[in-house]
Amino acid sequence: MNNTVDIKVGSFIRQWVIGTYGSDTIRLDKRTNLWAIVKQNLDLLPADYHTLQDKEEYISIELLYSHTDNCYSIPAGKEIHINSIYRCYISDSGQEAIKRYLENQFRAAFRIYMVACNRNDQKVKILNCITSFLLDYNLPIDNKLLSRLMKDWYRYRQKNPENNALPIFF
């Protein structure tokens, strides 16, 4: 059994993570940006910590083992090991950083999807593309999310008027 940390990301980002990773538990590679953020924010478990009962808005991130997967080299040639057996808690600022990272990944995936949808068929309406995106990731189709994504797409098109602009996906 592997150690995991729980991150509160909200319900629709959680659904997107499930649609993208196939589960609400993310298994990372040590060379990813998300692992770097997690590793920066690992902390000792606080004394007043209690396990979560309601995980509707939470995802889990699997922690890598210390001596094989989560060491990195410093230019001076030293190796630093973080023992994830003891450091198995993410601080509030770390939770916010991971949530922000996943929201940026969601936005990038949405924009790439929209560029591809509009490039394939110019006559497809924006609302149909957004609805297809939501259905592909099993996200709820409600007016609040539709209007949020329409505003995001409108703002993106205003900043990038040429059709060939694709957002960078890290």
pLDDT 10s digits, 100-143: 999 999 999 999 898 888 776 665 688 899 999 999 988 888 89
Provide the residue range defining the domain that includes 79. Answer: 4-91
Q: Do 43 and 9 sit in the same domain of this protein?
A: yes
Q: Do 142 and 106 sit in the same domain of this protein?
A: yes
Q: Do 80 and 110 sit in the same domain of this protein?
A: no
Q: What is the pTM of this model?
A: 0.79
Mean pLDDT of 44-50: 76
Q: 67: Cβ–Cβ under 8 A, 6 or more apart, which residues? A: 81
Q: Do 62 and 41 sit in the same domain of this protein?
A: yes
Distances (CA, A) of 162 to 6, 101, 115, 165: 40, 26, 11, 6
Confidence at residue 125, expressed as pLDDT on a 0 to 100 scale:
83
pLDDT value at 72 more than 60: no
Q: How far apart are the first and last CA of the chain?
A: 29
Extract the tokens encoding 118. 């509009």
Q: Do 131 and 60 sit in the same domain of this protein?
A: no
Residue 167 belongs to a domain: no
Mean pLDDT of 160-169: 63
Q: What is the dihedral of CA 56, 12, 148, 146, to 10 degrees?
A: -110
- Decide: helix, strand or coil at residue 5: strand
Counted domains in the chain: 2
